[in-house]
């Protein structure tokens, strides 16, 4: 069953309106999110996603609704892994809390676009070459084995490919310029450390999407379900970040269960 173009348009309008409201509220607030506020916003994003799940039930039936819910739960739990890496990236670049909000908003918008492209490519590949699903499966099993027997530890961004590229090819300022990603120093435009942090966040999201998208393909190959469950899970990531980042020391095994050690 194909999805009407109007439903796709309505879904994206809904997502951008929700992000805009969240952003406007944050700007109006003008300070860092408390744990309570982050928990409230996380709950609102979950409720909105469940309401959308009800809509899927109404329009596409209970089977598709269950597929959406399963995809959403898988993506949401895997996104905890992203949060742990965000914490490390922000600590590495010494990003001030207010600037973290801005980097997360743009990071998540970048993730929306990149995941959309990856899902489109994935769906096209699976529909044309069904054996790709087996390759995805083998890839996931290998990832699990590597996580099980590999060395635990924090990723080193200093010598990562993206950091070396930024250092060698992009002029970077020594200090932050408020919440700006770029700054004009003398006569030339330069990227601020916040801008570099944003690039690293988006690249890391892309790396994580390589195993989280195939995981949803194991549940369904319906592009609408794969895409919407992914998007619903990542739009709530910003408030979840401010909640989980402060409670990391209480949920010590959460990272292990999300498959990142």
Partner 1 sequence: MIVAKYFPVPTPISLGVVVLILAITVVISLMATQKRAAAEDPK
Residues that bind partner 1 (CB under 8 A): 63, 66-67, 69-70, 73-74, 77, 133-134, 136-138, 140-141, 214, 217-220, 249-254, 256-257
Q: How far is the CB of 218 from partner 1 (least distance, A)?
A: 4
CA 245 to chain centre: 15
Cβ atoms 137, 154 nearer than 8 A: no
Q: Nearest approach, Cβ of 199 to partner 1 (angstroms)?
A: 31
Q: How far is the CB of 232 from partner 1 (least distance, A)?
A: 15
Token pair belonging to 53: 């799940």
User: Is 199 within 8 Å of 181 (Cβ atoms)?
Assistant: no
4 contact partners, CB below 8 Å, separation of at least 6: none
Nearer to partner 1, 105 or 133 (CB): 133
> For 191, what's the count of Cα atoms within 13 Å in the CB-facing half-sphere?
17
Looking at beta carbons only, is 188 or 250 nearer to partner 1?
250
By beta-carbon proximity to partner 1, the closer residue of 199 and 233 is: 233
- Pick between residue 204 and residue 244 the one whose CB is nearest to partner 1: 244
Is the CB of 74 or the CB of 191 nearer to partner 1? 74
Cα–Cα dist 145/158, whole Å: 26
Structure token digits, residue 77: 């739990």
Beta-sheet strands, E only, within the chain: 182-185, 188-191
User: Least distance in Å: CB of 114 to partner 1?
Assistant: 23
CB of 136 to partner 1, least distance (A): 6
């Amino acid at each position: 069953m194909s999805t009407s173009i109007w439903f796709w348009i309505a879904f994206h309008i809904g997502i951008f309106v929700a992000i805009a409201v969240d952003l406007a509220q944050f700007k109006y607030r003008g300070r860092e999110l408390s744990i309570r506020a982050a928990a409230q916003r996380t709950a609102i994003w979950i409720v909105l996603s469940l309401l959308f799940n009800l809509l899927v039930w109404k329009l596409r039936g209970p089977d598709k609704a269950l597929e959406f819910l399963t995809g959403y739960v898988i993506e949401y739990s895997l996104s905890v892994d992203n949060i742990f890496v965000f914490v490390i990236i922000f600590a590495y670049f010494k990003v001030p809390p207010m600037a973290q909000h801005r980097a997360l908003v743009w990071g998540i918008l970048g993730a929306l676009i990149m995941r959309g492209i990856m899902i489109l490519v994935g769906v096209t590949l699976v529909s044309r070459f069904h054996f790709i699903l087996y390759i995805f499966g083998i890839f996931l099993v290998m990832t699990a084995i590597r996580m099980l027997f590999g060395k635990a530890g924090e990723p080193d961004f200093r010598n990562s490919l993206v950091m070396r590229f930024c250092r060698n090819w992009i002029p970077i300022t020594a200090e932050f310029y408020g919440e700006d990603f770029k700054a004009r120093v003398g006569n030339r435009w330069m990227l601020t450390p916040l801008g570099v942090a944003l690039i690293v966040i988006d690249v890391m999201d892309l790396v994580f999407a390589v195993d989280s998208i195939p995981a949803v393909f194991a549940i369904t190959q319906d592009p609408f379900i794969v895409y919407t469950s992914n998007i619903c899970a990542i739009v709530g990531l910003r408030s979840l970040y401010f909640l989980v980042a402060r409670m990391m020391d209480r949920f010590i095994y959460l990272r292990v269960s999300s498959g990142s050690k």
